[in-house]
C-alpha cells in the first residue's frame, strides 16, 4: 500500500500529488509526483514507468472502441487496475492520486467518453483519495472532454518563466497542441489558452511497425529515415473534414484509420516516412489557429524522440521546435504530472477545463473523488 498524508488536502497549502497516465499508444503506465497547490508547480518528485506486457497490450487493443458492458471491456479494466495498483503502490508521501484510466472509446458528440479502470477500487487498494473520471463532466456540458493537459501547460509556462506565448505539443497516439499566453491571470481567463487534438500522431505509425515488423514503434525514426514520403497521401490526408473544424476539437485513436489504409501498398520505409510526415503536417496545419505566433514549440510524448518527426516540425514552424527537456521538463512524465495537478484542482473546487480548451459551455471542474474509507 502506498504511504500518504491525506490530511494535506484539507487546506490550500501545496501538497504532494501522484498522477498516472496510460495513453493511446498502449505501451504502459507512467506515474509521477509533483508538489502543487493547484495553481503553481513548485517541485517535481519521483516518477516511474510500468510497461504493459504483450498479453496485456493484446487485451487492451481488443477492447478499443468498446463501451462499458461490451465484450472485453471488463478484462481491459482489470489490466488497467492491476498495472496501476502495482505501480502506484511503490510511491510514498502522496496526499492523493490522479487516475486517468485507459481511454477505450471517445465520442463526445455521441456516446460520450470511456476510460477503463475503477478509481474507487484503487482508493481502497492504495489507502489514498483517488480523483478519476476526469472527462465525463466536461462532455456532459457539451465539451470535447479533451485535451485536459492544457491547464497544466499553463502552470508549466509560468514555471519555466515564459513571458511570451508558447506552445506545447504532445505526440502520443494522437497529437495534442496547446497555445499558452502566460501573461493571462489564470488558465480559464479569456485569451489564456487554446487547445485541441491536431490529428493522428504515433498510433498509425506504431500499428504499421507492429503489423509489418513486429516492433512497438519506429525507434529513432530509423525506418522512416530510409523511405520517401508519398506526397499524394499527405495532400489527401489534409483534405479530411477534421482539419476544417475550428478548435477546440478532439479525436478518438481510431478516427484516422483511413490513413493507415492509404499507405497499405507502399513499402515499409515509404509507409513509415509518409505516416511520420502526416503527423507533423497535421500539427503545422493546426498551428494556423494560434491567436498569436508562439515563441517556441515544446514537444512532449514519444514523438519527440523521433528525429524524422522533429525535422518535419522544424521545417513547418517559424519558431524553435524543441523537446521539453530543453526547458528542464520531463517529456516522458508530463502527462502523468498533469493528472496529479488536475487532481488537486478537482479536490479544491478549481476548474480543469474551459471553453478554449475543450469547447465546454462554461468553466468546469471534472472528476470523481473516491476515498479509501467510503
**Alpha helices, DSSP H only, in the chain?**
54-62, 73-88, 119-126, 136-140, 150-159, 202-213, 231-238, 257-262, 268-286, 307-316, 334-347, 355-358
The pLDDT value recorded for residue 7 is 45
State whether CATH 3.30.420.40 applies to domain 161-327.
yes
The pLDDT value recorded for residue 254 is 77
Kindly compute the dihedral angle of the four CA atoms of residues 52, 55, 56, 62, in this order, to the nearest 10 degrees.
130
Output Rg (C-alpha) for the chain, integer angstroms: 19
The pLDDT value recorded for residue 251 is 85
The pLDDT value recorded for residue 103 is 95
- Report angle CA 44, 46, 52 to the nearest 5 degrees: 125
The pLDDT value recorded for residue 295 is 98
Mean per-residue pLDDT over the chain, rounded:
95
Are the beta carbons of 79 and 60 closer than 8 angstroms?
yes
The pLDDT value recorded for residue 6 is 42
In the chain, CATH 3.30.420.40 covers 3-143+336-350+366-370, 161-327
The pLDDT value recorded for residue 333 is 96
Please list, in sequence order, all residues whose beta carbon lies within 8 angstroms of the beta carbon of residue 78, skipping any fewer than 6 positions away: none
The pLDDT value recorded for residue 5 is 46
State whether CATH 3.30.420.40 applies to domain 3-143+336-350+366-370.
yes
The pLDDT value recorded for residue 1 is 52
Give the DSSP H or E segment for 19.
strand 15-22
Are the beta carbons of 122 and 97 closer than 8 angstroms?
yes
Task: Show the low-confidence residues of the chain (pLDDT under 50).
Answer: 3, 5-8
The pLDDT value recorded for residue 363 is 96
The pLDDT value recorded for residue 326 is 98
Amino acid at each position: 500500500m502506498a504511504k500518504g498524508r491525506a490530511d494535506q488536502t484539507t487546506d490550500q497549502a501545496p501538497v504532494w500529488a501522484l498522477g498516472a497516465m496510460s495513453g493511446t499508444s498502449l505501451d504502459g503506465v507512467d506515474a509521477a509526483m509533483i508538489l502543487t497547490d493547484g495553481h503553481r508547480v513548485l517541485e517535481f518528485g519521483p516518477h516511474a514507468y510500468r510497461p504493459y506486457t504483450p498479453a496485456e497490450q493484446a487485451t487492451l487493443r481488443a477492447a478499443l472502441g468498446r463501451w462499458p458492458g461490451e465484450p472485453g471491456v471488463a478484462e481491459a479494466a482489470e489490466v488497467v487496475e492491476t498495472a496501476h495498483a502495482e505501480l502506484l503502490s511503490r510511491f510514498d508521501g502522496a496526499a492523493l492520486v490522479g487516475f486517468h484510466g485507459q481511454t477505450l472509446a471517445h465520442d463526445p458528440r455521441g456516446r460520450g467518453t470511456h476510460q477503463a479502470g475503477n478509481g474507487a477500487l484503487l482508493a481502497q487498494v492504495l489507502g489514498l483519495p483517488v480523483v478519476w473520471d476526469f472527462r465525463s463532466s466536461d462532455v456532459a456540458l457539451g465539451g470535447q472532454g479533451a485535451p485536459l493537459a492544457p491547464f497544466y501547460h499553463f502552470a508549466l509556462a509560468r514555471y519555466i518563466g515564459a513571458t511570451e506565448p508558447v506552445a506545447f505539443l504532445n505526440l502520443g497516439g494522437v497529437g495534442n497542441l496547446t497555445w499558452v499566453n502566460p501573461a493571462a491571470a489564470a488558465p480559464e481567463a479569456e485569451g489564456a489558452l487554446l487547445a485541441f487534438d491536431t490529428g493522428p500522431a504515433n498510433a498509425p505509425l506504431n500499428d504499421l511497425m507492429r503489423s509489418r515488423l513486429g516492433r512497438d514503434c519506429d525507434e529513432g525514426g530509423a525506418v522512416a529515415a530510409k523511405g520517401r514520403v508519398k506526397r499524394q497521401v499527405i495532400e489527401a490526408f489534409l483534405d479530411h473534414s477534421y482539419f476544417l473544424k475550428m478548435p477546440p476539437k478532439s479525436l478518438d485513436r481510431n478516427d484516422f484509420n483511413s490513413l493507415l489504409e492509404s499507405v497499405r501498398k507502399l513499402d515499409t520505409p515509404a509507409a513509415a516516412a509518409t505516416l511520420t510526415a502526416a503527423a507533423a503536417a497535421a500539427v503545422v496545419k493546426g498551428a494556423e489557429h494560434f491567436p498569436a505566433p508562439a515563441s517556441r514549440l515544446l514537444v512532449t510524448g514519444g514523438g519527440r524522440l523521433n528525429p524524422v518527426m522533429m525535422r518535419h516540425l522544424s521545417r513547418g514552424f517559424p519558431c524553435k521546435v524543441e523537446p521539453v527537456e530543453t526547458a528542464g521538463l520531463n517529456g516522458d512524465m508530463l502527462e502523468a504530472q498533469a493528472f496529479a495537478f488536475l487532481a488537486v484542482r478537482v479536490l479544491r473546487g478549481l476548474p480543469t477545463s474551459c471553453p478554449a480548451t475543450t469547447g465546454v459551455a462554461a468553466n468546469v471542474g471534472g472528476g470523481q473523488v473516491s476515498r479509501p474509507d467510503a
